[in-house]
Structure 1
Amino acid sequence: MQKKVWQWTGLNEVTSTTAERGQPGTGEAEIRIVSIGICGTDLHIMSGHAGFGVPPLPLGHELAGVVERIGPGVDGWQPGDRVCIDPLIGCGVCRECLAGSKHRCAQSGEIGLHYPGGWQEYLVAPAANLYRLPDAVSFEEATQAETLHCCLGGIDKLDIRLGCHAAVIGDGPTGLYYVQLLKAAGASKVTLFGMRDGRLELGRRLGADVTVNLRSPDAAAAEPEAAETQDIAIDAAGNEASLKLCIDLLKRGGQLLLFGLPGHPILADIQAVVLKELTLSGSTNAPQVWPRVLELMASGSVQVKPLLSQRYPFEELDLAIAFARNEPDEAVKIIVSHS
């Protein structure tokens, strides 16, 4: 049996091809992919800036679909079940995996980053990586559970007190999710800093109390006024300027969550961190929060649909990639779906 596949084949190149459908082995299930989110990480991999992944490889790690077949030893799943997929796979036997922290496993890798991903009609994945979709969550929305789970893992590392003030630097999808999560967790005032008016307006609709366009002439006046006013700052941009802004904004004793990835070493004012007694936390994956993510989505506590900005059929995945690369201001989150 054949399946259609889009493969990353070289520098910023994707190619449509066909391949044999794999038979699910012990503990595995075959998923018919329904919807895929296009992530900035996909673009970084294709441009050669990520430092991992080797072409030819079907990318795609924001995935939702339907169980098609199950392999031996799989309990609790049957064909037709609606699922999203945790792309992270650990070795399963090391101390970190056994403690539920497979993201810290030295041998871990991800579907769509290190292993074949969802840019194909069917994908074989470990059944342990599947999560059942609530009826209220669509396939398109479910693609965002992967991104949202990373953000929720970061939130769990913060001590968020009711009535606190928080700043989010970065108006990409993760910044917009962090705005919502901070409000849901009890922050009374959330300020979103970004560089795109459309994204900042969306941030206001999703709960940001104040927005600041860092490209605006008014931003220079707003930053000193906001200095040392925030209990929490989240760097969802990951560059030297965003890190400096976070440190400047935080009160003494404040908390700084580092989430955005610079891709290379950057300078930080460690003296300010020490003298202000700031708490720094880094955050990536968080395997333990997946069930809570789906509850947040199903209850409407976090809205995903407003971020879904463009939709493409699977046959035009190459056009979706091109749009994401060429129109970054317009592309908040692009969804590719099978008909």
Structure 2
Amino acid sequence: MTVAVRYTAARTLDTAETETRSPGPGEVELAPAYVGICGTDLHIFHGDMDARVTTPAVLGHEMSGRVVRVGPDVEGWAPGDAVTVMPLRWDGTCPACGSGHQHICQHLDFIGIDSPGAMQQRWTVPASTLVRVPDSVPLERAALVEPTAVAVHDVGRAAVREGERVVVVGGGPVGILIALVARAAGADVRIAELSAHRRALAEASGLTAWDPAVDDVPELVREWTGEAGAEVAFEVSGAAAGVDTAVDVLGVRGRLCLVAIHPRPREINLHRFFWRELTLVGARLYDRSDFEKAVSLVADGTIPAERLISKVVPLTEAPAAFAALEAGGDVMKILVDCTDDAQGVAV
């Protein structure tokens, strides 16, 4: 048996014992160490994804841990190996897969949403989803590889180039990670974020952050760029005002990368797209190369993972951690410690 955190209904989680499934052919059993709570998990918690999620649902897809057992026909992995998981299972037969875009398979199983996730003491997954973590990387930091892979993919989709001016609208965990990855690619980056706590974390990482509640962000961008406007904007806030800001800061032929999940349709200034020949690109998930790049960025310190971790709580306190994140306040990333002897600690 294993203890798991389960979503049962809107704003309702429990911890319960569930059956441990032995690894079959091509599978491995993992002992998750740390699992991050992300924005998608909060959407599930709010009940926004009930049409997709089958209850009770074990949550969690941002994780690190170790291999416990390997199933038949699994090569290259052994008990004790440190890993993270790229939580995607595709069918390999749909048009998206046929065109080489398996990560957005038309019948995608996103593990942790469409099937049981990592927020449990034992977790069986396909060996093909494993990504190796160097022994030099603490498992707490390795839990941020998955959101870093999101940022790597987003920066790639926006085709950020050295010397470009980039505005990130929304300075939550993914927003700051995008800013750090874009900076590593040679871009000059600014963040627009309402939370003073998150702005302070961004600035502690060497980033410039503006408060859109008091700062005229489009005007600041015009001053910064000599009236040209930014080459790239990322919309990571999920708010209607964030969409407006992301469009308004762009210069001629600027690129807007949509990262946030918007639960409802938004109005957008299409005239500005016409007038300035702007481009809108969507960015969803990642592929293996994004994950491998993310591991290297966490390992070499480009991503200051420890600075982004606000708190670590034991598995039994995960429901309270969801409520704390929903309430907002001075919090960035909360990790759930799934180890057998977990004790909640502040980082």
- Describe the SS at the equivalent of 2:4: strand
Please give the secondary structure, in 2, of the residue aligned with 1:315.
Answer: helix
**Alignment map for 1:124-163 (pairs within 5 Å):** 124-163=124-163
Q: How far apart in 2 are the matches of 1:91 and 1:196?
A: 41
Output the CA distance in 2 between the equivalents of 1:119 and 1:162: 38
Report the 3-state secondary structure (helix = DSSP H, G, I; strand = E; otherwise coil) of the residue aligned with 1:154: helix
Counterpart of 2:345? Answer: none
SS state of the match for residue 66, structure 1? strand
Superposition pairs for residues 265-276 of structure 1, below 5 Å? Answer: 265-276=265-276
SS in 2 for 1:292: helix
Cα 1:15–1:67 shift into 2, 3 Å: same
Q: Distance in 1 between matches of 2:275 and 2:45?
A: 41
Counterpart of 1:176 in structure 2 is 176
- Which residue in the other structure is 1:224 paired with? 219
Q: Which amino acid aligns with 2:266?
A: I
Describe the SS at the equivalent of 1:166: strand
Can you list the C-alpha shifts for 1:181-216, whole angstroms capped at 9, x where unaligned? 1110011x31110101111111112232x3211122
Indicate conservation of the 8 Å contact 1:238/1:258, yes or no: no
Alpha-carbon distance in 2 for matches of 1:18, 1:198: 37
> Would you say 1:78 and 2:73 are equivalent positions?
no
CA–CA separation in structure 1 for the residues paired with 2:52 and 2:329: 26
Cα 1:178–1:269, aligned 2, differ >3 Å: closer, same or farther? same
Deviations 1:284-320, CA, capped at 9 Å, x for gaps: 1111311111011111122211110011012222222
Letter in 1 for 2:65: G
Supply the AA of the counterpart residue of 1:7: R
* Residue 105 of structure 2: aligned partner: 105
How far is the alpha carbon of 1:162 from its aligned partner? 2.4
Going from structure 1 to structure 2, the CA distance change for 1:325 and 1:160 (only over 3 Å counts) comes to closer
User: Is the Cα contact below 8 Å between 1:45 and 1:52 reproduced in 2?
Assistant: no
Counterparts of 1:28-47 in structure 2, within 5 Å, are: 28-47=27-46
Distance apart, 1:322 and its partner CA = 2.2
Q: What's 2:225 paired with?
A: none
- Name the counterpart of 1:123: 123
In 2, are the aligned partners of 1:180 and 1:207 still within 8 Å (CA)?
Answer: no
Partner of 2:209: 211
Deviations 1:154-200 (A, max 9, x none): 1112333322211110011111001111110011x311101011111
The runs of 5 or more residues in structure 1 that have no matched partner are none
Q: Kindly provide the amino acid, as one letter, of the partner of residue 76 in structure 1.
A: G
State TM-score, norm by structure 1.
0.93
**What is the aligned partner in structure 2 of residue 55 from structure 1?**
55
Q: Which segments of 5 or more consecutive residues in structure 2 lack a partner in the other structure? A: 223-227, 343-347
Counterparts of 1:321 and 1:123 in 2: how far apart (Å)?
Answer: 21
The Cα shift of 1:249 comes to: 0.7
Could you tell me whether the CA contact under 8 Å between 2:95 and 2:106 is conserved in 1? no
Given that 2:311 and 2:334 are in contact with CA atoms closer than 8 Å, whether structure 1 keeps it comes out as: yes
2 CA distance for matches of 1:60 and 1:9? 14
In structure 1, the residue matched to 2:330 is 330
Give 1:317's aligned amino acid: A
| 1:252 CA drift (Å) | 0.6
> Partners of 2:177 and 2:59 in 1: how far apart?
23
| Two-structure CA RMSD over aligned residues (Å) | 1.6
Identity value in percent? 30
What's the counterpart of residue 237 of structure 2? Answer: 237
Q: Does 1:263 align with 2:271?
A: no
Alignment-mate amino acid for residue 219 of structure 2: P
Partner Cα distance (2:74, 2:144) in 1 = 25
Per-residue displacement from partner, 1:260-280 (whole Å, max 9, x unpaired)?
Answer: 111111111111111101122
Taking structure 2 as the reference length, the TM-score comes to 0.91
CA contact (8 A) 2:193 2:211 kept: yes
Q: Is the 8 A contact 1:87 1:112 kept in 2?
A: yes
**SS of equivalent to 1:155:** helix
**Cα offsets for 1:196-249 (capped at 9, x unmatched):** 1111111112232x3211122xx13x5334245211111111222111111111
Matched residue SS, 2:58: coil
Q: Does structure 2 retain, via aligned residues, the 8 Å contact 1:254–1:277? A: yes
Q: 1:96, 1:249 → 2: CA distance?
A: 33
- Matched residue, 1:291: 292
- CA–CA distance in 2 between the matches of 1:69 and 1:32? 9
The answer to whether the Cα contact below 8 Å between 2:2 and 2:122 also exists between their aligned partners in 1 is: yes
Shift of 1:98: 5.6
**2:26 maps to what in 1?**
27
